[in-house]
Structure 1
Amino acid sequence: MSARQFADRRDPRLDRSRSAILSAAVALLSEGGVRQVTIEAVTARSGVARSTLYRHFPTSVELLAAAFQELLPPLRLPDPDATPRDRLLQLVVAQAEQIDQAPAVAAVVWLSTLGLSGVPSGAEDQSRLGALRERVVERYRGPFEAVLAECLPSSGRDIDVAAAQLVGPLLFNALVTGRPSDRGFCVRIVDDFLAGRR
């Protein structure tokens, strides 16, 4: 039997159980953050047996990583032909759209809880979580880094601080004031940022 024929004969129950487990983990992560994504909570919500969960996700960290990746849509990249200011604005608008959605807020909560109690503390688990966090940070920081390198003088090019100054107000709106970060708000953030850096 060829590999293709074997793949065609895959038991559909495996896909259904994996989907149910991931849906439950994503819902728990969205509702309450990392501490809510426990094996007990996921099995209770999904209706899938613990042994089946472990067949799909051998560790709780792998389950958490898979749920987080489901919640993390890719950041829409800016038009490479636009001016640096317009590319920066496109990134900020794209980030605002993601933050205004519940899954992005859950992602922020997840990242902020790394290292706090409730997160697996074994060395191997911490290493996996650290690697996942690095991929997430790079996924969001990378596009900003390329554009900010053109917008900032080399003497004041602290990309992490610059990205925080641009994204921080969006998070503040979403988590504190409850106001949406519309395009006009994003324009003000970008223009004020660039004016302060000249």
Structure 2
Amino acid sequence: MTTHTRPSRDDGTGAPAERRDPRLDRSRTALLDAAAALLSESGIRGVTIEAVTSRSGVARSTLYRHFPNSGELLAAAFQQLLPPIPAPPEGGTPRDRLLGLVLDQAQQIEHAPTTAAAIWLATSGLSAELPADPVERTQFAVLRQRIIDRYRKPFDAVLRDCLGGVPRVTAGDIDLAAAQLIGPLLFNTMIVKRPNDREFCTRLVDDFLTVHGSPTI
């Protein structure tokens, strides 16, 4: 007789799902809730190990079972507040794909403008909240790369197509292009309180492509 064994699932703590202590799920949820609240209230610098453990009531040793350092905790808090935008489907024109990303980003900014601003500042390396401690700066660099991987990659691929292809497009070109598209969305929401509706987003994309786009688009 053949015996079938249910495959175990790992939740990131190293414990198979069917044998996992439910207290680990509760402690992870409490930590993420605390970190997300601190991120919303105080920005990146507010999400310290001490602040998160104090607010959540979870011991430091338990925190480190879930998150090896503050950078990993911050990355998870960002994702809790603002899930990454999925990459647009293949097959459309670069303009259509870029417009879809800008429209999705406009909705994210409307939902959580402060968090979206922090994400884009971090991905552009423009955040003024750089820690002085060398170890913390290294962790911040790791965090920045995690944020880029989760939030910037869909834009990077489409912007390369819009700007004419990989050979002549530098990382600096991509940073500038992203700033030119995302900056007005943040300005609308956070400064002048104007909606980023489809008409505005379409004009933003078309104006950008008129100046910077590849002639083949």
TM-score by length of 1: 0.80
| 1:67 aligns to 2:81 (yes or no) | no
Superposition deviation, residue 24 in structure 1: 0.8
> How many angstroms apart in 2 are the aligned matches of 1:9 and 1:101?
37
Q: Any gaps of 5 or more consecutive residues in structure 2? A: 1-5, 10-14
State the partner residue of 1:53: 63
Aligned counterpart for 1:122 among listed residues 127, 134, 148: 134
CA contact 1:76–1:94 (8 Å) conserved in 2: no
Q: Does 81-90 or 151-160 show the bigger shift?
A: 151-160
Aligned counterpart for 1:13 among listed residues 9, 23, 26: 23
| 1:30 aligns to 2:45 (yes or no) | no
The alignment yields a C-alpha RMSD, in angstroms, of 3.0
CA contact 1:22–1:67 (8 Å) conserved in 2: yes
> How many angstroms apart in 2 are the aligned matches of 1:147 and 1:163?
11
Q: Any gaps of 5 or more consecutive residues in structure 1? A: none
Task: Classify 1:186/1:22 alpha carbon distance in 2 versus 1 (closer, same or farther; 3 Å).
Answer: same
Q: Deviations over 1:96-123 (max 9, x none)?
A: 1111112x63253262775636x47233
Aligned counterpart for 1:145 among listed residues 148, 156, 164: 156
Given residue 194 of structure 1, which amino acid in structure 2 is its aligned partner?
L
Given residue 40 of structure 2, which amino acid in structure 1 is its aligned partner?
S
Given residue 179 of structure 2, which amino acid in structure 1 is its aligned partner?
A
Task: Classify 1:173/1:126 alpha carbon distance in 2 versus 1 (closer, same or farther; 3 Å).
Answer: same
Q: Tell me which stretches of 4 or more aligned residues in structure 1 moved more than 6 Å.
A: none
CA contact 2:98–2:158 (8 Å) conserved in 1: yes
Q: Deviations over 1:49-104 (max 9, x none)?
A: 344334433433333233233334121322322222111111111111111112x6
Q: Does 73-82 or 44-53 show the bigger shift?
A: 44-53
Give the percent of matched residue pairs that are identical in Structure 1 and Structure 2.
Answer: 57
Q: Deviations over 1:127-148 (max 9, x none)?
A: 2321221232244333223223
Task: Classify 1:133/1:184 alpha carbon distance in 2 versus 1 (closer, same or farther; 3 Å).
Answer: same
TM-score by length of 2: 0.74
Task: Classify 1:113/1:132 alpha carbon distance in 2 versus 1 (closer, same or farther; 3 Å).
Answer: same
Q: How many matched pairs?
A: 194
Task: Classify 1:120/1:38 alpha carbon distance in 2 versus 1 (closer, same or farther; 3 Å).
Answer: farther
State the partner residue of 2:118: 109
> How many angstroms apart in 1 are the aligned matches of 2:162 and 2:114?
28
Superposition deviation, residue 185 in structure 1: 0.9
Aligned counterpart for 1:180 among listed residues 179, 182, 195: 195
State the partner residue of 2:90: 80
